[in-house]
């Protein structure tokens, strides 16, 4: 299977590394009785189902996955705030997650921006202060896409002029339109934390853009931990 999935117009998720398997979860649980399985059996599958059903989540923290993500800043910040919040909520995540992100204090590569297509602009929801509703008229979408492109172009030119004039990168970046700018980071998390993220961000009321990234994460790892993921997603879904 391909270890990279393209998301949105320029983004992607890449599975960098995996530590463990469903068997890792089983053996983390069985160590309490000094037991170890060499191959996954029906009895082991039943154990995974029991652990997920009863909320015994610590064995799922011994399996890990590492991803490289390239996404608009608005997605990255929502993802990051979610991670920090879940790390301090009992039973919902863990504090072992790692996040390392590229910084325009040091990186001056050509910036890239998320620009929705005309048919991807969404209306405000009728009964909520957050999220989005149905797509707006495509003709309006063309107009807003043009506005956004002009705004980005102006910011990029000011950024380049500032760099060329000798302004430090950490201040020149102030000219770049922030929320749609793509950033790159590594995310390493336990299986428990990943599944909690998926349960939250695959929901129909999650922001559409981050839903697309959650779908990519799920596709990349579901074959690595098929039993555990099925049970944990189903448990909270």
- Identify the domain containing residue 229 by its residue range: 4-106+184-236
Whether 93 shows a pLDDT value over 50: the answer reads no
Same-domain check for residues 132 and 195: no
Same-domain check for residues 124 and 80: no
Q: Which residue has the higher pLDDT, 203 or 225?
A: 225
pLDDT of residue 127: 76
Q: Tens of pLDDT along 218-231?
A: 999 999 999 999 99
Q: Could you give the C-alpha distances from 180 to 1, 37, 75, 133, 185, in angstroms and in order?
A: 30, 48, 9, 20, 15
Whether 183 shows a pLDDT value over 80: the answer reads yes
Give the CATH number for residue 79: 3.30.1360.170
Catalytic annotation on 201? Answer: yes
Residue that terminates a domain, selected from 137, 157, 175: 175
Residue 209 lies in a domain: yes
Residue 221 lies in a domain: yes
Same-domain check for residues 97 and 192: yes
Same-domain check for residues 14 and 95: yes
Counting the structural domains of the chain, the total is 2
Same-domain check for residues 14 and 52: yes
Residue 129's Cβ-count burial label (10 Å; 0-12, 13-18, 19+) is exposed
Q: Three-state SS across the chain?
A: CCCEEEECCCEEEEEEEEECCHHHHHHHHHHHHCCCCCCCCHHHHHHHHHHHHHCCCHHHHHCEEEEEEEEEHHHHHHHHHHHHHHCCCCCCCCCCCEEEECCCCCCCCCCCECCCCHHHCECCCCCCCCCCCCECCHHHHHHHHHHHHHHHHHHHHHHHHHHHCCCCHHHHHHHCCCCCEEEEEEEEEEHHHHHHHHHHHCCCCCCHHHHHHHHHHHHHHCCCCHHHHHHHHHHHC
Rounded to an integer, what distance in angstroms lies between the CA atom of residue 34 and that of residue 29? Answer: 10
Whether 129 shows a pLDDT value over 50: the answer reads yes
pLDDT of residue 92: 46
Residue 113 lies in a domain: no
For the entire predicted model, the pTM comes to 0.88
For residue 10, the tally of other CB atoms under 10 A from its CB is 14
Res. 83 pLDDT band, cuts 50 70 90: low
Same-domain check for residues 95 and 45: yes
Residue 111 lies in a domain: no
Same-domain check for residues 78 and 169: no
- State the catalytic residue, choosing from 43, 105, 122, 201: 201
Same-domain check for residues 38 and 74: yes
Token pair in block for residue 185: 């980071």
Rounded to an integer, what distance in angstroms lies between the CA atom of residue 227 and that of residue 51? Answer: 12
């Amino acid at each position: 299977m391909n270890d990279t999935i393209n998301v949105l117009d320029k983004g992607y998720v890449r599975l960098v590394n995996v530590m463990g398997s469903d068997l890792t979860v089983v053996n983390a649980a069985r160590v309490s009785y000094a037991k170890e399985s060499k191959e996954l059996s029906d009895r082991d599958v039943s154990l995974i189902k029991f652990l997920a059903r009863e909320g015994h989540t610590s064995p799922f923290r011994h399996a890990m996955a590492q991803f490289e993500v390239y996404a608009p800043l608005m997605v990255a910040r929502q993802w990051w705030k979610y991670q920090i919040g879940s790390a301090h909520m009992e039973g919902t995540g863990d504090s072992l997650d790692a996040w390392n992100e590229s910084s325009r204090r040091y990186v001056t590569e050509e910036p890239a921006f998320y620009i929705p297509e005309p048919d991807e602009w969404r209306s405000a929801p009728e009964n909520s202060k957050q999220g989005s509703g149905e797509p707006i008229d495509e003709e309006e979408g063309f107009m807003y896409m043009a506005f956004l492109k002009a705004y980005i172009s102006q910011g990029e030119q000011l950024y380049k002029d500032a760099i060329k004039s000798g302004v430090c990168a950490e201040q020149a970046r102030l000219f770049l339109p922030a929320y749609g700018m793509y950033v790159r980071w590594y995310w390493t998390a336990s299986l428990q934390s990943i599944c909690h993220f998926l349960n939250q961000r695959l929901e129909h009321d999650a922001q559409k853009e981050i839903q697309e990234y959650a779908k990519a994460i799920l596709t990349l790892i579901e074959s690595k931990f098929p039993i555990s993921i099925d049970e944990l997603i189903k448990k909270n879904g």
